[in-house]
């Protein structure tokens, strides 16, 4: 495939579209060279620290962080080896965001980051509910 070329997997709803993303999320920062890779590497270290400091019994947080770290490593690899991230999943999500004609093309690593963030947010919200529901010991 050449950049911009698409192959339909399911009508116009799901396509494989080759995109070379030199920028950050949603194609932002396209002209910033190695800055997205540098930022990703800098953010990776605190994530690894938090992962290794998170107790083994906190499996949801560790799973979420594993997804985020894995996705970040995949995108960092692409940036270092190719100079850009290879995006290819092209989904049309109609009427969710009216200003976008199509959802931006993404890759498996981006999906891992998103799933990981959802898991961590669920854990945070669950902990908030536990602390609100806990009886006072006074």
Q: Which residues are the active-site residues?
A: 87, 110
Using the CB atoms, write b or e for 96-122: b if 16+ within 10 Å: eeeeeeeebbbbebbebbebbeebbee
- C-alpha gyration radius of the chain: 18
Q: Is 61 exposed, middle or buried (0-12, 13-18, 19+ CB in 10 A)?
A: buried
The residues, any chain, with a CB within 8 Å of residue 42's CB and separated by 6 or more, are none
Ramachandran angles phi, psi of 16, nearest 5°: -100, 115
Q: How far apart are CA 24 and CA 26, in angstroms?
A: 6
Match 């494989």 to its residue by tokens.
16
């Amino acid at each position: 495939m050449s950049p911009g070329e698409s192959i339909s997997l399911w009508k116009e709803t799901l396509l494989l579209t080759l995109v070379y993303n030199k920028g950050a999320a949603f194609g932002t920062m396209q002209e910033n060279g190695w800055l997205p890779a540098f930022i990703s590497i800098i953010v990776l270290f605190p994530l690894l620290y938090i992962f290794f400091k998170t107790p083994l019994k906190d499996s949801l947080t560790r799973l979420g962080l594993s997804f985020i770290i894995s996705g970040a490593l995949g995108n960092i690899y692409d940036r270092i080896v190719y100079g850009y991230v290879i995006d290819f999943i092209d989904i049309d999500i109609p009427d969710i965001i009216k200003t976008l004609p199509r959802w931006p093309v993404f890759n498996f690593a981006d999906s891992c980051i998103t799933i990981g963030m959802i898991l961590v947010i669920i854990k945070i919200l669950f902990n908030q509910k536990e602390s609100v529901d806990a009886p006072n010991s006074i």
